[in-house]
Chains A and B, each alone.
Chain A
Amino acid sequence: MKYLGITLERPKIGVFDFTGCEGCQLQIANKEETLTDLFGLVEVVNFREISSERRNDYEVAFVEGSITTDNEVARLKKIRIQAKILVAMGACACLGGVNNLRSRFPLPDVVKEVYGGHPVDTGPVRKVTEVVPVDIELPGCPISKPEFEWVVRHLVLGIEPQFPKYPVCVECKQRLNSCVLDMGMMCLGPITRAGCNAVCPRNRFGCWGCRGPSDEANFKSLMEILGERGFSEEHISERINFFNAFSGLSQ
């Protein structure tokens, strides 16, 4: 790629999946309008879901999903050794995501409920940072395609991406949405990191925090407001814990 006579690097990227729904990697293949440009900017050398080509000379690794087996731990460690930059992609990878909902129950009971007496290879749910160091956390369930492209552009230019520090509420106001909290719905928009363009409130459903906490999130104050509006503690905690996004704040 050449711009104003300057050749920019065309980084080699790999996309890898662990325990998740593959919804995040699907977003990468999803916006066909810009796909050609994207593949001009980077060289995809390993992306099993869409390609049979498999090389191990990637420089940037995008990792989707939580880590739940020893096998996955080993695979992830290998990827970490190869990759110069490791991007954890999506709520499962960054936070544990919905997978954490099973951590409410003891592991042997979990296996028994689904597989009876059959042995299956599984373990506790871990986010990627619990296994290897992560360079960039790309939030969301699923990730947003424009944000993925934005991160790629930063990588190509060698600039560290700065994610929005402000909460979803700001984007909601920018889009002139009606406030769903005012409409009587529960919403975690005031404490959740923006960047999704407030897609849930936009569609008349309160945010439930898939992108994790915003900077300086005033957790306590939102809890008070939700309590005053008559939401039960149980109801609030179900929302808060859905993606395991606020475990640091809620204690």
Chain B
Amino acid sequence: MNVKIGRPINIEIDHLSRVEGHGDIRIRIENGKLVECTWKVVETPRFFEVMFKGLSIEMAPLLAARICGICSISHALASARAIERALKIEIPEPAQKVRLLAKHAETLQSHTLHLFFLVAPDFLDVDSVIPLIQTHPQVVETAARIKGFANRASDLFAGRTTHPMVIKVGGSTQVPRKRQLKELVKDLDATIPYLWKALDLFKSFRMPDFARETEFVSLRGTEEYPFIGGNLVSSDGICKKEDEYRAMTNEYVVDFSTSKFSRLSRESFAVGALARFNNNYDLLHPKAKETAEELNLKLGEHNPFFYNLAQLVECFHVMYESKEIILSLIDSAISEFASHYRVKGCEGVGAVEAPRGILYHYYRIGEDGKIEKSDCVIPTSQNHVNIYYDLHKQVEELIGQGKGEEEIRNLSQMLVRAYDPCISCSVH
């Protein structure tokens, strides 16, 4: 091994930029040896599990949304689903479709934000998307077009892009009119060419060469690529029911972080786009598979930088699948979109695939329809330990390759960013 014994390296990054929330990186290298390498979550806790206490179930999805400004739709869906499963409420089919469309809009919006605003600047060697307005206007336009569409779709299916009010216990407050659906299909068709432009852009970026084998956890679809509900699976062969989420997450508290940590079969596991891709490749839309091939993203990939590419593949999936669902809504007669229900004492779990990975909400409901106890397990808190071990391994490899401080600093930040961590959400 080519170990260069240079001066000590001390990397201290406070409040890592271009991620959601507050996290710090600390790396110390002395005599060519890694002596400290931490990924520290320093977000202030908000105590959502306490806020839910005593709230009526009607308000739960609305409060749940406020856990995260980026994935508010996922939180509202997981919350409504947990309550509906507890009370055994069947929601009408049109509402199911509208929810999936809202979910897809969020996935597209969140992935685009991550890929263009948070990740692309690293590959184009700038601080943010702002200078790209001058230097790469076509890149900014591509991002704006895709996100613009995702925003309009969120407005239509969830009420707005952040903090939806349309998702309610039992179904939807309303469903879009056919005229609006037809307009959105036109909008979607006009947006697809920009997705292909995004593909060309990301094909031109070389993902850093690094891999660490890990366990991937996600929902498993039966007939469709999973987004809302289903069995919980891991690439190490574990399969659990939605209600058994605790056996899948095993949360624990550590001293140096306000986010809880998780483990399963190994010291860490990973959730998110790459986990979903690896566990459900067979269920991807053909266009998404085509994209994966073009990006050289293969089943069984363990390079965390490929999270970025798996997200792009999912953008194709949700876009093409949305079109099919919207067309089927246009063709169907919609009369009902919310079910009536009666409250009783019970408990339930709702799992959804948020953009950053599997998300669980659990509630115990009292006879009076008020929430007695809640538990929310966030994708990013499940990824923290995995990020920690990745960071370690990557830095050691870089030291071995004789890389300098600048490169170690950049690649460490890029590695954390690849996971698209949502830190304020993980410290909810």
Contacts and interface: CB of A to CB of B under 8 A. Distances in A.
B174 A204 contact: yes
Interface string B125-155: 0011110010000001001110110010000
Interface string B161-178: 111011010000110000
B287 interface: no
Contacts of A98: 51, 63, 66
B151 A31 contact: yes
Contacts of B401: none
Interface string B50-94: 110111100100110011111010000000000000000000000
Interface string A33-77: 101100100001001111111100000000000001101100000
B55 A102 contact: no
A51 B66 contact: no
A205 B165 contact: yes
Given A21-B67, A104-B54, A30 B129 contact: no
A101 interface: yes
Interface in B1-33: 15, 17-22
Interface string A88-116: 00000000011101101100011101111
A235 B117 CA distance: 42
Contacts of A35: 133, 144
A101 B55 contact: yes
Interface in B282-300: none
A1 B145 CA distance: 26
A25 B113 CA distance: 13
Interface in B309-363: none
Contact of A23 (B55, B66, B113): B66
B44 interface: yes
A21 B68 contact: yes
Contacts of A17: 22, 424
Using C-beta atoms within 8 Å of the partner chain, give the interface range for chain A.
Answer: 35 or more
Contacts of A31: 151
A101 B424 contact: no
A2 to B, nearest CB: 17
Given A48-B17, A102-B50, A142-B69, A19 B165 contact: no
A223 interface: no
B118 A32 contact: no
Interface in A138-159: 141-142
Given A51-B17, A99-B46, A205-B159, A22 B140 contact: no
B69 A120 contact: no
A122 B67 contact: no
A126 to B, nearest CB: 12
A203 B21 contact: no
B130 A51 contact: yes
B160 interface: yes
B400 interface: no
Nearest to A98: B66
Nearest to A22: B69
Contact of A36 (B15, B22, B140, B168): B140
Given A22-B424, A23-B69, A53-B127, A29 B46 contact: no
B162 to A, nearest CB: 5
B253 interface: yes
B424 A21 contact: yes
**Interface hub of A27, A54, A98 (most chain B Cβ within 10 A):** A98
Using C-beta atoms within 8 Å of the partner chain, give the interface range for chain B.
Answer: 35 or more
A17 B140 CA distance: 25
A219 interface: no
B223 interface: no
A135 interface: no
A199 interface: yes
A113 B50 contact: yes
B168 A205 contact: yes
Nearest to A142: B162
A238 interface: yes
Contact of A21 (B47, B69, B113, B161): B69
Nearest to A71: B44
B45 interface: yes
Nearest to A200: B165
B49 A19 contact: no
Contacts of B62: 208, 242
A122 B45 CA distance: 7
B402 interface: no
Contact of A26 (B18, B50, B69): B69
A86 interface: no
A50 B128 contact: yes
B160 A199 contact: yes
Nearest to A243: B66
A246 interface: no
Given A50-B117, A54-B17, A33 B69 contact: no
Contacts of A44: 130
B258 interface: yes
B305 to A, nearest CB: 18
Which 4 pairs of residues, A with B, have the shortest CB-CB distance? A23-B69, A51-B128, A32-B144, A203-B159
9 contacts: A21-B67, A22-B424, A32-B143, A36-B140, A49-B19, A52-B121, A122-B45, A141-B66, A199-B159
Given A50-B130, A203-B174, A242-B63, 14 more contacts: A22-B69, A22-B70, A23-B72, A30-B161, A49-B20, A101-B50, A105-B50, A115-B45, A141-B66, A142-B69, A142-B162, A199-B160, A202-B159, A204-B166
Interface of A: 17-27, 29-33, 35-36, 39, 44, 47-54, 68-69, 71-72, 97-99, 101-102, 104-105, 109-111, 113-116, 118, 120-122, 141-142, 199-200, 202-205, 208, 235, 238, 242
